[in-house]
Amino acid sequence: MQSLQLLLRASHVALLLVLCLQLGTNTAQEDTNIRQPILMDLQVPQVTRANEEITAKLTIQTELRECMVVKTYLASSKPIEGPFNYKYTGCLCNDYPRTFYWDFQINSTLTMAAVVDIIPQLGICPNDEAVIPIKANRFSLLRNLFVF
């Protein structure tokens, strides 16, 4: 009988230990901070008048420790000529966010996307030590521009 009581006590202790380990594991998993390869902020007016010049401002930064080569550009649901089609290539490091500007005119309502591609290109970042994330290499933000 005493051996049965000892066995029951051990199972309670084991269950308590498993419960504590499970709670500790769940908390540890929640506390992990995944670094984002690209953080984007696109500022553009939502409403404009036809043929009025507007400015799109795109600020990008990274939480990765390594630098990367990025190409950034705008795309739209309707063709737009001029500076809207310019593409910029540069080095992005975690201690140096980049800001890009486009000045353009639109005549009708459209959807615009700011796109950032992480590309493998030499000679852009110092010492050619740029990285390319494994999971994703294209990031975008969509905005609607309304013309009245």
DSSP-derived secondary structure letter, 136: -
Predicted confidence (pLDDT) per residue in 5-59, tens digit: 544 555 555 544 444 555 555 544 444 578 899 999 999 999 999 999 999 999 9
pTM of the model: 0.74
Q: 102-141: b or e for each residue (b if 16 or more CB lie within 10 Å)?
A: bebbbeeebebebbbbbeeeeebbeeeebbebeeebebee
CB 48 within 8 A of CB 145: yes
Annotated domain spans of the chain: 1-32, 39-147
> Which phi and psi angles does 120 have, rounded to 5°?
-90, 95
Q: Is 147 exposed, middle or buried (0-12, 13-18, 19+ CB in 10 A)?
A: middle
CB 130 within 8 A of CB 70: no
Tell me the percentage of the chain whose pLDDT exceeds 90: 57
Q: What CATH number has the domain spanning 39-147?
A: 2.60.40.10
| Residue 62 structure tokens | 């990274």
